[in-house]
Structure 1
Amino acid sequence: GAGPRDDKTLLPPYVLIDRELTDGAGAKHPIKIGLIGFVPPQVMNWDRRHLEGNVQARDILQTARAYVPEMKEKGADIIIALSHSGIGEAREQEGMENASLVLAGVDGIDAIMTGHSHLVFPSSKYDGLDGIDVAKGTLQGKPATMGGYWGSHLGLIDLMLERDAGGWRVVGHAAEARPISKRNEDRSITALVESDAKVLASVAQQHEETLAYVRRAVGKTDAPLHSYFALVADDPSVQIVSIAQSWYIAQMLQGTKYEGLPILSAAAPFKAGGRGGPEYFTDVPKGDVAIKNVSDLYLYPNTARAVLVSGAQVKDWLERSAGMFNQVEPGKADQLLLNPDFPSYNFDVMDGVRYQIDLSQPSKFSSTGVLENPEANRIVNLTFNGAPIDPEAQFIVATNNYRASGGGDFPGAKGDSIVFEGPDTNRDVIVRYIVEKGTISPRADANWSFAPLPGTSVLFDTGPKASAYAGDVEGVAISAAGEGPDGFARFRIDL
């Protein structure tokens, strides 16, 4: 339609619920509560295969400013926004993916539940940011929560309401994110909630059937698959994903005009600690590889894609990935290596080329993909088939629908360079590859490394079980450096 109110919606854009409240004196009062939900319009890229030609998604702020007044017109006393969108920043832009902070400023919204970025709010992560009061748990003065990931926290908002001749209004509030567990000093975990027997019983059969399915072996590996060092060195758990993607895309492009172009493969480590904690790593021993292990290697139900890029775009793709690392000072010892604001799923390793990362250079791109230092060159000694890469040469990059459609904002992958859209998930591609090979040998080939910086060392944190593999990592000298925070183990790299 010409505007949101003129749209024919697939689902109701909001719902009004009649409830009854009891006041402090025991008297009962009717109240009409409005709930309205929002999703990033980028879903049209991420799930294009299902959505394109069937639905359209509008800008979050545009939609809110149309429907919230309508909810008020229809009698909503209190309006809660359910925003599957990160908190973001106070500066409004068209088509924002993380728009909850700006959304909270829409007149008529009384409270907001956020999500999408898998963080926790209120938390110190957001201290000092414009429009955010962590102590009060508010975004632009409105109470808000974000409940972490995988049910790690319960977001809870309490509203103190008052009713007068003008209707209901919020006169006080509290917002918190309650953790469901805590980590102890000995790295053990203590539950802070109890399981509900009725819930467990209701899904017991499906749970057992699912476990039986995912425990089925699809092949074998003659080397361990782990991701403990996936952020600091070429890694077997990422390598096997890259190899399977290249194998699949080579088959899919046979008989097309792209057959014969060199195929590179971009893959990122999904389970690499971070917010997931010191146990959040892939760790598959030698022997049988089950479906559950493949799901561990590739968490998301992405589908296979191929994009056509230039040699210059290959370099900038890798520059974008290199934002994973902090800039270090040459000659200085024990500097922290990893940028905590950079998600591991955006750390693409490119198989098929060789390169080094110069940590003394600033990152060319911000952690969200904004070009910040145009003259920076972290990626050095980038070669293809033993020769410096030709900036004008054409390459096929095997990747996934999220990245190819603009997820992560990578140069060369903005949705306009896709040359193949596969019907198969990347996870199924890996299963197929393992089934065909029978036994895989997932050894990293050290095609990327850090450029030498004599007299310089860096520290990084990973899972405690990493110590069993530290001596086997190719292309980097790793040594133990004691305890890290929150149950992690700390290691040192001499550059």
Structure 2
Amino acid sequence: MTRSRPSELTRRSFLAGTAAGSAVIALHPYSAHAASNQAHLRIMETTDLHVHVYPYDYYSDKPVDTVGLSRTASIIKGIRAEATNSMLLDNGDFLQGNPMGDYIAYERGMKDGDTHPVIDAMNTVGFDAGTIGNHEFNYGLEFLRKSTAGAAFPIVLANIATEAGGDPRADKTLFKPYVILDRTLTDGAGNSHPIRIGVIGFTPPQVMNWDRKHLEGNVQARDIVETARAWVPQIVEDGADIVIALSHSGIGSADHSDGMENASVPLAGIEGIDAVMTGHSHLVFPSPTYADYAGVDVGAGTIHGKPAVMGGFWGSHMGLIDLLLERDGNGWRVVSTTSEARPISKRNEDRSVTALVEDDAAVLAAVKQQHEETLAYVRRAVGKTSAPLYSYFALVADDPSVQIVSQAQEWYIGQMMMGTAYEGLPILSAAAPFKAGGRGGPEYYTDVPAGDVAIKNVADLYLYPNTVRAVKVTGAQLRDWLERSAGMFNQIAPGAQDAVLLNPDFPSYNFDVIDGVTYRIDLSEPSKFTSKGELAAPEAQRIKDLSYNGAPVTDDMAFIVATNNYRASGGGNFPGTGDTIVFEGPDTNRDVIVRYIVEQGTINPSADGNWTFAPMPGTTVLFETGPAARGYLDALTGLAIEDAGDTAEGFALFRIAL
């Protein structure tokens, strides 16, 4: 493609412009009412694009209306037209995060002179500057260098150094720590004035652990706040009228601690910073999510009184900070601000989605070839499975579709724990079946035959874009975690015939199987917890013979459990979650599964039978599943099961002798 020259980008970024067609554009009050010595500057932000250029879910292999830079870009003309002056910044995590990113990194590669497709798209849109997120390091430093070389806009990052000096300003940084953009503002009277805008970038120092294999011995990371305290005075000394922090870091505690991951609140408190663009957390600011955070004013859209924004993720929102600037001698100062995150879609009460914008045709055209190549990539094999992956019996026996998720999570967390205080603790893995019939109907099951595994099959294994987390639990918490999970089953009276096995009020995604330990479930006991996780029978003990490496698990033992962000944060109200998180991974569970398959080549998801029902002689239960389950009966071991016909709803019915 033809890349826009920097001069063209500068001109395009600061033209008022008009919206496409004849739509009426309402000027922002700052532009409408600016005095002769005042000017309105709108700062637009994208963050956490993760290679989502097209509005397409490559895992599900279908278009979607909730993502895509092509959608976000389509509203830029209108957003620019609301403001007399504007600029566009990216806050990082653009290079990795969907199969297009993996295709470029793992298969097509980047030669010197190549332009990465997401950079092609960003050049087409016309960014003024950007920073580096943690995921930019996932494919290694050489790939990062080649991929960013084609950017027609400066990329800044202050807290990653190839050579560390005595203080941050003495570092030899991987990218320029900051840039000063010389621009021209039009004031309220239509007169032009120069302005110097400083832009500095930061990424979580945790990259040194998350991407240890790529970064250890090659770069060093500094604390975000420490780095900012050193560099911001330098930016002001170099003549910046205003300073914008591109903080690829979430909104967290107001209290600074060395090396903190989500440092945007203490960062905003640093003198000299005028606006903070945040990201990393895949959330929206301003929004009620942050209503109770110290130092944060959701109504004003500020952090420590500074305007701030977080524009969602995958192009879901355009973050907007509006500054009313006033001439102060030969410089500018901020006199008023507003902040918003403008969405590209709306979720309706019935959970359906309405698109609010259309695609920008030029952005789609910029990556059309790579999009088509990615479609071919996700539809062909990236590895093999030596056994079929199915979930028909996931609620009654150890299951291959759950097994592979557990294996991938354990593999990943094992790497992440290296070099931490938790290295050496036993690592377990918790996973649940997502597609297990129920309200989804008799066809709603995972079913991938042995042989080739394509990337799009991973969506069948893992429905949700959760991220990997790890929690530290005691043996007592582990046991209660499993007791909570065992609420999937009704209490069965000894000697009962054809009793209904499954509790219809218990969702399958809360039936966690924990790999790495062995245990039995005694259905004669009542469930210790209700289907919502409330304590119901304190003395009940369905989990029997819980063992690790053949020895009984005691209450005081310590374990690391790999899981997802939903469960680790307390989703499902499981004991041992909510306040025991020791690792928050930057990667989705889907991405981890894909990486695991690619690295292994051939995976062996055969269930290891680490859990069973405790024997109840003379007792039978009935279990519903998909009709296609009949093709896998011979593979079941340790379960006395026979066909019992079909239900009126089209499910297959099986009888299990306990």
User: What does residue 266 of structure 1 align with?
Assistant: 429
Q: Larger C-alpha radius of gyration, 1 or 2? A: 2
Task: Report if aligned partners of 2:428, 2:559 keep a CA contact under 8 Å in 1.
Answer: no
How far apart in 1 are the matches of 2:331 and 2:425?
67
How far apart in 2 are the matches of 1:55 and 1:40?
13
Question: What is the CA-CA distance between 1:429 and the residue it aligns to?
Answer: 3.4
User: What does residue 430 of structure 1 align with?
Assistant: 597
SS in structure 2 at match of 1:118: coil
Q: 2:242 aligns with which of 55, 78, 92?
A: 78
Question: What is the CA-CA distance between 1:286 and the residue it aligns to?
Answer: 4.4
User: What does residue 92 of structure 1 align with?
Assistant: 256
- Structure 2: gaps spanning 5 or more residues: 1-164, 415-423, 486-504, 522-526, 534-540, 565-577, 585-590, 614-623, 630-658
User: What does residue 293 of structure 1 align with?
Assistant: 456
Question: What is the CA-CA distance between 1:134 and the residue it aligns to?
Answer: 0.6
User: What does residue 191 of structure 1 align with?
Assistant: 355
User: What does residue 353 of structure 1 align with?
Assistant: 518
How far apart in 2 are the matches of 1:118 and 1:179?
13
How far apart in 2 are the matches of 1:80 and 1:167?
16
| 1:117 aligned onto 2:284 | no
Question: What is the CA-CA distance between 1:316 and the residue it aligns to?
Answer: 8.2
User: What does residue 30 of structure 1 align with?
Assistant: 194
User: What does residue 335 of structure 2 align with?
Assistant: 171
1:82-161 maps to which residues of 2 (within 5 A)? 82-161=246-325
Question: What is the CA-CA distance between 1:266 and the residue it aligns to?
Answer: 2.4
SS in structure 2 at match of 1:239: helix
The one-letter code matched in structure 1 to 2:256 is: E
The 1:103/1:468 distance shift into structure 2, 3 A limit, reads farther
Task: Report if aligned partners of 1:264, 1:353 keep a CA contact under 8 Å in 2.
Answer: no
| 1:73-108 CA distance string (max 9 Å, x none) | 000001110001111111111111111011000001
Question: What is the CA-CA distance between 1:411 and the residue it aligns to?
Answer: 8.5
| 1:68 aligned onto 2:235 | no
Task: Report if aligned partners of 1:114, 1:144 keep a CA contact under 8 Å in 2.
Answer: yes
User: What does residue 180 of structure 1 align with?
Assistant: 344
User: What does residue 479 of structure 1 align with?
Assistant: none
How far apart in 2 are the matches of 1:391 and 1:317?
8
How far apart in 2 are the matches of 1:107 and 1:214?
48
| 1:325-383 CA distance string (max 9 Å, x none) | 9xxxxxxxxxx999xxxxx9xx99443333899669xx9xxxxxxxxxxxxxx997642
The 1:97/1:238 distance shift into structure 2, 3 A limit, reads farther
The 1:177/1:58 distance shift into structure 2, 3 A limit, reads same
| 1:34-70 CA distance string (max 9 Å, x none) | 0001111111111111111111111111000000000
Task: Report if aligned partners of 1:143, 1:174 keep a CA contact under 8 Å in 2.
Answer: yes
How far apart in 2 are the matches of 1:139 and 1:396?
35
Question: What is the CA-CA distance between 1:205 and the residue it aligns to?
Answer: 1.1
Task: Report if aligned partners of 2:475, 2:558 keep a CA contact under 8 Å in 1.
Answer: no
State the TM-score, normalized to the length of structure 2: 0.47
| 1:215 aligned onto 2:402 | no
RMSD: 5.2
How far apart in 2 are the matches of 1:248 and 1:183?
33
How far apart in 2 are the matches of 1:294 and 1:17?
46
Question: What is the CA-CA distance between 1:321 and the residue it aligns to?
Answer: 8.3
Moved more, 157-166 or 116-125: 157-166
The 1:111/1:428 distance shift into structure 2, 3 A limit, reads closer
How far apart in 2 are the matches of 1:224 and 1:313?
30
How far apart in 2 are the matches of 1:125 and 1:337?
28
Task: Report if aligned partners of 1:225, 1:442 keep a CA contact under 8 Å in 2.
Answer: no
Question: What is the CA-CA distance between 1:249 and the residue it aligns to?
Answer: 12
How far apart in 2 are the matches of 1:270 and 1:29?
61
The one-letter code matched in structure 2 to 1:54 is: N
How far apart in 1 are the matches of 2:226 and 2:433?
33
The 1:143/1:425 distance shift into structure 2, 3 A limit, reads closer
How far apart in 1 are the matches of 2:284 and 2:612?
36
The 1:389/1:137 distance shift into structure 2, 3 A limit, reads same
SS in structure 2 at match of 1:209: helix
How far apart in 1 are the matches of 2:520 and 2:369?
50
The 1:26/1:241 distance shift into structure 2, 3 A limit, reads same
State the TM-score, normalized to the length of structure 1: 0.61
Moved more, 195-204 or 160-169: 160-169
How far apart in 1 are the matches of 2:285 and 2:625?
36
Question: What is the CA-CA distance between 1:125 and the residue it aligns to?
Answer: 0.9
| 1:383 aligned onto 2:544 | no
Moved more, 162-171 or 75-84: 162-171
How far apart in 1 are the matches of 2:266 and 2:425?
44
| 1:455-482 CA distance string (max 9 Å, x none) | xxxxxxxxxxxx998xx9xxxxxxxxxx
The one-letter code matched in structure 1 to 2:373 is: E
Task: Report if aligned partners of 2:195, 2:331 keep a CA contact under 8 Å in 1.
Answer: no
Moved more, 175-184 or 74-83: 175-184
The 1:318/1:390 distance shift into structure 2, 3 A limit, reads closer
The one-letter code matched in structure 2 to 1:315 is: G
1:409-424 maps to which residues of 2 (within 5 A)? none
The one-letter code matched in structure 2 to 1:32 is: R
Task: Report if aligned partners of 1:263, 1:398 keep a CA contact under 8 Å in 2.
Answer: no
SS in structure 2 at match of 1:37: strand
| 1:13 aligned onto 2:177 | yes
SS in structure 1 at match of 2:266: helix
How far apart in 2 are the matches of 1:269 and 1:15?
47
The one-letter code matched in structure 1 to 2:190 is: G
Task: Report if aligned partners of 1:246, 1:263 keep a CA contact under 8 Å in 2.
Answer: no
Task: Report if aligned partners of 2:202, 2:224 keep a CA contact under 8 Å in 1.
Answer: yes
How far apart in 1 are the matches of 2:243 and 2:412?
49
SS in structure 2 at match of 1:116: coil
Task: Report if aligned partners of 1:83, 1:114 keep a CA contact under 8 Å in 2.
Answer: yes
| 1:259-297 CA distance string (max 9 Å, x none) | xx998652557999xxxxx9xxx9744448642235535
The one-letter code matched in structure 2 to 1:13 is: P
How far apart in 2 are the matches of 1:248 and 1:92?
29
- Structure 1: gaps spanning 5 or more residues: 251-260, 273-277, 326-335, 339-343, 364-377, 401-407, 415-423, 449-466, 473-495
